[in-house]
Structure 1
Amino acid sequence: MNKPKNTLTLFLQRFLLLIIIYQLIRIGFYFYNQSFFQEINLKIFLGGLIFDLAILGYINIIFVILHLVPGKFQENKKYQNFLFYSFFIINGIILSTNFIDYEYFRFIGRRSSFSIITAEGMSNEIGGLLISYIKDYWQIPIMMIISLFTFWLCLKKIKYQTVKTFSKIGNYVTLLFVVGLLFIAGRGIGRKPISLVDATNYGPIGSSALVLNTPFSIMKTLSKKENLKEIKYFSEAEAKSIFNPIQTFSYPEFNKKNVVLIILESFGNENIQRGQTPFLDSLIQKSYYFKNAFANGKLSIDAVPSTISSIPGLMNKSIISSNYALNEVNGLPKILKENGYETSFFHGAFNGSQNFDKYANVAGFDTYYGKDEYIGPKSFDGKWGVFDEDFMQFFAKEINNFKQPFFTTLFTVSSHAPFTIPEKYKNKFPKGTTEIHESIAYTDFALKEFFKTAEKMPWYENTIFVITSDHTSSTGEELQYKNNVGKFRIPILFYVPNDESMIAVDEKNFQQIDILPSLMDYLQLNTKIISYGKSYKSKDDYVVNYLDNVYNLEMGDFYLAFDGTKTLGLYNWKTDPLLKENLSDKNPENKQKMERFIKAYIQSFNHRVSKNQLTVK
């Protein structure tokens, strides 16, 4: 006959099993993404244990109560079966979310948030993309099933059919004590509750995703709102003297050229000038090319406000899907419309995808063209939208109907996972070395065909083409593209037919938010704007982006990582692209200068975004 087990021992054995399973999942996450974590140490896994205890503490408070509340019902087999199955099902579902980030981490560079898990702004695409995800990354569902099966088998081995409880008083004291411990584990023992940013304390820069777990990240981003905190590093006057986003442009004559902005999906630096993009490579030779260009975010949804409105993504949530989405912005559409331009936005995906249509409306575009407005050959990729070649031809023909001058934006789709290309082009493009390369080559071909059509159009010679990527891709063998500098390296170029002054290679640091002020200078507009970027004519040489609760600042040859309170590291990213040597102690003057700049920048951004002050009144 089995010896009765007290209910506290039963709960503790189950809870310990969960801790072990979470650690095994973290180890699996590390080996699956090993190339992204060049340095690991015991501190990372100790930090991981703290974050595992945090999420497990909150989830299992209810189970402590169900295990330890005294009463004869505890000895009832049906009740114990209920406890067993509910413990397995609820904890099993929650721990399974960790497997989403085994692959998705490669795309976004951090653990998933609530809005990503719920596919906010992608309701039409999610069904097809989920099927593709399971098909293309079949090993991840298998690993998840193995983990759940292991959890089930080990849970079954913890005998629970015969239990006993303490006396009523003893059980209530034990219950209060254990609930208190789990609450402390969930909250953390610091002055403030444990948060996502605390993960930066447990490992090298870029290792926060290994420290964290996905359920904790989801829990901390459950609210659709992300309120920016007012930060006062400096007095208002001192902050403005360090960084002031108000910029004035004054010219005697207007250079009334059309503007075509093309945002190429996932065309990070790791994918160009390596044989996959012959047309874009040739265009670079005839353009004003920014050799050291950066994205201001890791998601497509970040690229639109960055390129259109010069607003960087300095939150864990994109401004498009945040509670600041309806802030008044004075981006390219409104500025150019005031100067007589017709404006439009084209995106071949489902209408409403990633809330681009809503932001296009807020930004001031006259017209939005999505999959619903497409006219042309049947060309749906089955998952995401209209194939790039056909949509770009539609784009070129629609432009022909616009009154000059016009400003139009195109966002491509075909080089987005699952990287589908038309059947007729299968095996016609180089496969490359990673799964995205064939679709990159296809979109490069589509771009070439677009320019073949465009150069025959009457508006072509009077147009500046701005070409950029939304962000880097998830793949790439080179280690330099897997740290907090390389994860943002993208191509940006200005191509202006018959303007030889716009053929050059610029080595200054450049970013997506620099596109707007640069166009103000090139078009010679008279305007005053708020921009967190700078013109290509400026002597300033900085780039700012944000990832996994770390502010990244490139200034000249140096890169500073800042977590909002302290510097995490200073590196010469040009001579040390793998960021091996931390120069914080060796170069204190540069560290102080860059730290002052990023603090003033954050202070201005948080204040203006939270107070809806992104326009000059």
Structure 2
Amino acid sequence: MFTQKIKPFLYLGVFYLIISLLLRVVFFFHPITNDSFGFLEIIKVLSIGLVNDIFVFILASSFLALYFLFLSNSKYKKPYGYIIFGALLLFFLYILVIPNNIFKQYGGSVTKIALIFVGLKTLLFGLLLFLPSKRIKIRNILYFITLFLYVLLIVFNAVSEYFFYNEFGLRYNFIAVDYLIYTNEVIGNIMESYPVIPLFLAIFIITFSITWFIFKKTKEELLTLPNFKQKLILLGTFIVLVGISLWIIPAMMERKSSNVFADEIEANGIPKFYWAFTHSELDYFQFYSKIDQNQAEKNFLNQYPEHSLVRNIVSEQPEQRKNVVLISIESLSAEFLEHYGNTQKITPFLDSLATKSLMFTNVYATGNRTVRGLEALTLCIPPTAGESIVKRENNKNKFTTGSVFKSKGYDVKFLYGGYSYFDNMQDFFGGNGYDIIDRNNFQPNEISFANVWGVADEDMAKKAIQVMNQEAKSGKPFFNHWMTVSNHRPFTYPDGRIDIPGDSKSREGGVKYTDYSIKKFFELAKKQDWYKNTVFVIVADHCASSAGSTELPMDKYRIPAMIFSEGFIQPQKFDKLMSQIDVMPTLFGLLNFNYQSKFLGQDVFKDYFQPKAYIATYQDLGFVKDNHLTIISPLRKVKQYSLQQKESSLAPNFNIYYNENPVKTPQQNLVEQTISVYQSTSYWIEKNKLNR
């Protein structure tokens, strides 16, 4: 019985091992593998690779094991079958009919996915229940589909690993994870680069043929199903094997030899993909252009008078221990504001506040995700390859804006309307000395509206006032960093606040509601005693979209930023090019703070400030200076564009749009400066030189 029941696993496993062996042989002879292997080394690589594949397949076959464990005829007997079917049907109707069901709060397509899944489960269970004579045939169809999906994944993964190795000479890494994030660009690249139709047709033919072969050899296993005792034996055996696999695979991944190609060929792509997905880092020194490290640091540090990473910032004026509220606004592109030419009037309050503020009109976000914006405003460093430091393991005890305020005796908090475990924010801010106020701190009567991202911004505004009133009673100054959430898909918010319905799910509605909520915050703040002694910094975390005709479209990184404080900050515009990482050092300059700095951003009002900006994706690292955008990418690629401002009908008197014209021969001084920025930053992060 045991041997019979594992036949499907044996056939699939052997097929997987054959495909993996063929892939390794191809890698050995691939032109990109520019290293030689002796016979014994080849045997060693193939043997270690075989061990890798066996344990990976054991883990990957978990779903197939569950499929077999839940096969049963007893659950269709009276009355159990009718009870289960009734429960499934009621659950399906609950999702279909009840407007505020449990899945609605997650927004997007979650409800539709749940409806389809439960609907299919109900339909199939009903067919198996009411058509007992067709039960074997129906099970055969479902079994064939299950096998087909497994074989398809095996074949498709092999093809994907080949093309990835063909381009990078490596198994999966964070770039492969990145491909899942930039789906449109990746699909477009594949469509243009490869013969997609013949390729997919070949994959389908191979998959169907192998599936049919395995199905024919194993379908009789569905005729006699194991009893409860036999299932327990199968389950126990499988749990032991999975446990061994979970212990062996990480140990195998830690093995490193002097031959990089040997490491990559003997590895298995699936655990490498999982590791990259969870670690989210891309080694700058392995993939990007480099120069001498000392020269890189010298080039980068030349922008500071002390030419040093650690610098003493000394003011000639007395320090101003004012409260500071930093509001980083979700997905607020500059083009949403009337000041930048928008005519929709969706930011009336922010536009009115900008006229009373120090407004930075030429600021660029470092990235296109919230965690990148939080990194820029908290660490004040250029972006680095891979994921933001916020989401990395080594993200604690950094030199931050919060640590500067703490050294001055401030109460430091991070405020977020959602659950701060999302995007690792809780770990990052908590590990850097911030107290955290998030959705867990709300009582039910404090929430007028919430969606999957968190409580509505107006509810967070009211909570922020409560927190600040409490802080003010302590007699200490406070620094609070509030991250908004409402301007995010699905763009839902309470009705009756603005002239766009709360269920319209429009970007314009999300922007206007956030503007409304910030207005409510200021209306409440003005009534508090601490208001006149407070500086407010309002800046976007990133733009609403980053898609464009080039790797880094400048227009999609321009964000609004302003500093407001009645009677303290004089209204004016600062039009020079600057980065998001310059905002907080500039604030410290306005407060005349004396401190020892490791920030890589600068006070833009210093005489030595050099206009520049850093913009990036997870792979492409851009440096904007002297009307040029220089981009460095994996495989040591370098591109450069000359920037030419162009007028727009939206903003005839305010040029915020650029033509990016490719430069055939890049200016080498700018290329070297770009490399120096990102190589130095990556090195300092790796060596913990940006820690407190």
TM-score, with length taken from structure 2: 0.58
Q: CA separation in 2, counterparts of 1:561 and 1:609?
A: 21
Whole-Å separation in 2 of the counterparts to 1:181 and 1:251: 61
Structure 2 unmatched runs, 5+: 1-10, 20-48, 55-60, 68-101, 121-140, 146-156, 179-183, 192-268, 302-308, 648-655
Match of 1:313 in 2: 383
Amino acid at match of 2:574: D
Opposite residue 398 of structure 1, the aligned amino acid is V
Q: Which of the pair has the greater relative contact order for Cα pairs under 8 Å at 6+ separation?
A: 1
1:262 counterpart letter in structure 2: I
* Structure 2 residue identity aligned to 1:134: S
Unmatched runs of 5 consecutive residues or more in structure 1: 1-6, 16-60, 67-82, 90-126, 146-155, 161-178, 201-205
Aligned 8 A contact 2:174 2:280 in 1: no
How much does 1:545 deviate? 2.5
Partner Cα distance (2:418, 2:159) in 1: 49
- Deviation of residue 131 (structure 1)? 5.0
Structure 2 residue aligned with 1:325 = 395
CA contact (8 A) 1:348 1:385 kept: yes
- Return the letter of the residue paired with 1:413: V
Q: Does 1:546 align with 2:521?
A: no
1:270 aligns with 2:335: yes
What is the CA-CA distance between 1:187 and the residue it aligns to? 2.8
Counterpart selection for 1:442 from 504, 513, 525: 513
Equivalent position of 2:600 in the other structure? 532
> Matched residues in 2 for 1:296 and 1:581: separation?
18
Residues 336-363 of structure 1 deviation map (CA, whole Å, 9 limit, x = unaligned): 1111211111111124232222211122
The corresponding residue for 2:108 is 133
CA contact (8 A) 1:208 1:548 kept: no
Aligned to 1:20: none
What aligned pairs does 1:325-474 form with structure 2 within 5 A after superposition? 325-326=395-396, 328-365=397-434, 367-375=435-443, 377-402=446-471, 403-425=475-497, 428-429=499-500, 435-474=506-545
The 1:570/1:181 distance shift into structure 2, 3 A limit, reads: closer
Whole-angstrom distance in 2 between the partners of 1:572 and 1:239: 25
Return closer, same or farther for 1:547/1:585 CA change in 2, 3 Å cut-off: same
| Cα distance in structure 1, aligned partners of 2:659 and 2:279 | 37
Matching of residue 612 in structure 1 with residue 688 in structure 2: yes
Count how many residue pairs are aligned between Structure 1 and Structure 2: 462
The alpha-carbon deviation at position 398 of structure 1 amounts to 1.8
- Rg larger in structure: 2
Q: Aligned pair in 2 of structure 1 residues 404, 580: CA closer, same or farther (>3 Å)?
A: same
1:296-343 C-alpha deviation (Å, 9 max, x unpaired):
2211122222211213432322212212223x2121111111112111
* Contact 1:558/1:574, CA 8 A, preserved across alignment: no
Matched, 1:592 2:671: no
The alignment's C-alpha RMSD in Å is 4.5
User: What is the match of residue 250 of structure 1?
Assistant: 314
SS of the residue corresponding to residue 691 of structure 2 reads: coil
The residue aligned with 2:189 is 211
Q: Deviations over 1:259-282 (max 9, x none)?
A: 110011111223222310000011
Contact 1:303 1:470 in 2 (8 A): yes
Cα distance 1:186–1:406, how it changes in 2: closer, same or farther (>3 A)? closer
SS of the residue 2:542 aligns to: coil
Measured in 2, the distance between the counterparts of 1:466 and 1:338 equals 20
Deviation at 1:416, TM superposition (A): 1.6
Equivalent residue, structure 2, for 1:221: 276
Q: For residues 494 and 128 of structure 1, do their structure 2 counterparts lie closer, same or farther at Cα, with a shift above 3 Å needed?
A: farther
Matched, 1:571 2:638: no
Alpha carbons of 1:358 and 1:128: their partners in 2 closer, same or farther (altered >3 Å)?
farther
Q: Mapping of 1:485-564 within 5 angstroms?
A: 485-499=554-568, 501=570, 503-538=571-606, 539-563=609-633
Q: Which residue of 1 aligns with 2:45?
A: none
> TM-score with structure 1 length normalisation?
0.64
Question: Percent of pairs identical after alignment?
Answer: 22
Aligned equivalents of 2:159, 2:426: Cα separation in 1: 48
The answer (yes or no) to whether the contact 1:259–1:466 under 8 Å persists in 2 is yes
Over 3 Å counting, the alpha-carbon distance change for 1:189 and 1:455 in structure 2 is: closer
Quick check: 2:493–2:502 contact (8 Å CA) kept in 1?
Answer: no
Change (3 A) 1:324 1:135: closer
SS in 2 for 1:561: strand
**Deviates most, 570-579 or 546-555:** 570-579
Q: Provide the C-alpha distance between the structure 1 equivalents of 2:550 and 2:169, rounded to a whole number of angstroms.
A: 37
Q: Which residue of 2 aligns with 1:28?
A: none
Paired AA for residue 597 in structure 1: Q
Classify 1:186/1:562 alpha carbon distance in 2 versus 1 (closer, same or farther; 3 Å). Answer: closer
Describe the SS at the equivalent of 2:374: helix
Matched, 1:295 2:374: no
Match of 1:582 among 661, 675, 678: 661
In structure 2, give the amino acid aligned to 1:268. Answer: S
Judge conservation of contact 2:641–2:663 (CA < 8 Å) in 1: yes
Shift of 1:208: 5.0
Secondary structure, aligned partner of 2:630: strand
Cα deviations by residue, 1:468-516 (Å, 9 ceiling, x for unpaired):
111111499xx69995322222111111211353x22112222221123
Judge conservation of contact 2:457–2:514 (CA < 8 Å) in 1.
Answer: yes
